[in-house]
């Protein structure tokens, strides 16, 4: 009996420690931008490695960032989609480091359009509890053509007529599926699409150096940082704790209010529709 109780205590302690360590992983938190610190290198890479069998192939999915110096906290998150549908989410954090690297191999079959977007984040801590942050987004895409009668090949952008034909086909298939999915979400929440600029999550990286309509780059940077803070807490953590094979979800749609008041994030997973709302600072509407 005593041995049973001892085993139970050990197991319970282990479970509590496991849960505590899982909860202890810090969330991505936006702080004012630090103009004195930057990244030396950031990247997201999708690559076809090899053909494994006649019906499958091996892929590499990689995200990496290097800051100019070691920071109090470094954290990256990367999302992978196939033909608009979620394949995987990975996030990693470290304290007192300048490097975060996420690397994974996965298998695929048939012709597909792969997309990956990553968010690279760092916290800079100063005396007197002053905290600032840096962030950047990177993106990569890859078309993989695996069709009977043709050699397995991949390309990031079409270079000839054959590749253009394949890219148009895969783009059309992906876009039609996403448009149908997003239309259902907007109808569910009774959203007037004319009141918003619509941007897929996979296209957000262009705002690294391009301001949102009617906003400055500084304002855009703040919106993006706070947007990823919300995405991490309400989308990335939620889905990364679930077996990817059991998740049915598509690229979220970001709706930016034309009156510079707020943004909406629409997504769905396993039939459950979700809407996130992020209010802009009052000064943005002036």
pLDDT of residue 245: 67
- pLDDT band per the 50, 70, 90 thresholds, residue 284: confident
Of the three residues 158, 185, 214, the one that is the final residue of a domain is 158
Question: Is there a domain that residue 56 lies in?
Answer: yes
Question: Averaged over 135-161, what is the pLDDT?
Answer: 93
Same domain flag for 101 and 154? yes
Same domain flag for 211 and 105? no
> In Å, what is the CA distance from 49 to each residue of 147, 156, 162, 167, 220?
17, 14, 22, 20, 37
- pLDDT band per the 50, 70, 90 thresholds, residue 213: very high
Question: Averaged over 205-230, what is the pLDDT?
Answer: 96
pLDDT of residue 190: 98
Question: Is there a domain that residue 14 lies in?
Answer: no
Q: How many CB atoms are closer than 10 A to CB 240?
A: 16
> Any idea how long the chain is?
286
pLDDT of residue 29: 93
Same domain flag for 244 and 271? yes
Same domain flag for 257 and 150? no
Q: What is the 8-class DSSP label of residue 101?
A: E
Question: What HEC string does 268-281 produce?
Answer: EECCEEEEEEEECC
Same domain flag for 145 and 183? no
Same domain flag for 45 and 88? yes
Same domain flag for 142 and 181? no
Please state the pTM of the whole predicted model. 0.89
Residue burial 145-157, b: 16+ Cβ < 10 Å; e: rest: bbeeeeeeebbee
SS3 category, 157: coil
SS3 category, 248: coil
Question: Is there a domain that residue 206 lies in?
Answer: yes
Same domain flag for 185 and 133? no
Residue 125's CATH number: 2.60.40
pLDDT at 22 exceeding the cut of 50: no
SS3 category, 25: coil
pLDDT at 238 exceeding the cut of 70: yes
Q: Is the dihedral of CA 60, 244, 138, 21 positive or negative?
A: negative
pLDDT of residue 27: 84
pLDDT at 24 exceeding the cut of 60: no
pLDDT at 89 exceeding the cut of 70: yes
pLDDT at 146 exceeding the cut of 60: yes
Question: Is there a domain that residue 115 lies in?
Answer: yes
Of the three residues 158, 191, 220, the one that is the final residue of a domain is 158
Q: What's the chain's average pLDDT?
A: 89
pLDDT of residue 16: 34
Question: Averaged over 199-211, what is the pLDDT?
Answer: 97
Question: Is there a domain that residue 3 lies in?
Answer: no
Q: How many domains does the chain have?
A: 2
Same domain flag for 134 and 247? no
pLDDT at 9 exceeding the cut of 60: no
Question: Is there a domain that residue 231 lies in?
Answer: yes
- pLDDT band per the 50, 70, 90 thresholds, residue 180: very high
Question: Is there a domain that residue 6 lies in?
Answer: no
Q: Which domain holds residue 186?
A: 177-285
């Amino acid at each position: 009996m005593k041995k049973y109780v001892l085993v139970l205590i050990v197991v319970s302690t282990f479970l509590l420690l496991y849960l505590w360590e899982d909860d202890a992983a810090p969330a991505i938190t936006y702080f004012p931008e630090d103009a004195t610190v930057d990244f030396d290198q950031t990247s997201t890479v999708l690559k076809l490695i090899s053909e494994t069998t006649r019906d499958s192939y091996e892929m590499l999915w990689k995200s990496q960032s290097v800051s100019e110096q070691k920071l109090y906290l470094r954290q990256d998150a990367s999302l992978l989609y196939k033909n608009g549908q979620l394949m995987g989410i990975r996030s990693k954090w470290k304290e007192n480091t300048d490097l975060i690297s996420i690397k994974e191999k996965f298998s695929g079959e048939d012709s597909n359009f792969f997309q990956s977007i990553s968010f690279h984040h760092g916290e800079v801590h100063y005396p007197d509890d002053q905290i600032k942050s840096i962030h950047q987004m990177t993106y990569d895409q890859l078309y993989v053509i695996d069709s009977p009668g043709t050699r397995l090949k991949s390309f990031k952008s079409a270079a000839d007529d054959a590749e253009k034909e394949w890219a148009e086909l895969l783009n059309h298939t992906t876009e039609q599926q996403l448009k149908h999915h997003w239309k259902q979400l907007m109808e569910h929440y009774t959203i007037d699409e004319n009141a918003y600029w619509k941007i897929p999550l996979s296209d957000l990286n262009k705002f690294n150096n391009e301001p949102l309509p009617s906003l400055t780059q500084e304002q855009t940077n703040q919106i993006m940082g706070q947007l990823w803070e919300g995405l991490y807490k309400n989308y990335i953590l939620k889905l990364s704790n679930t077996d990817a094979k059991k998740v049915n979800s598509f690229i979220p749609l970001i709706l930016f209010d034309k009156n510079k008041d707020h943004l909406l994030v629409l997504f769905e997973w396993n039939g459950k529709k979700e809407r996130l709302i992020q209010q802009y600072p009052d000064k943005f509407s002036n």
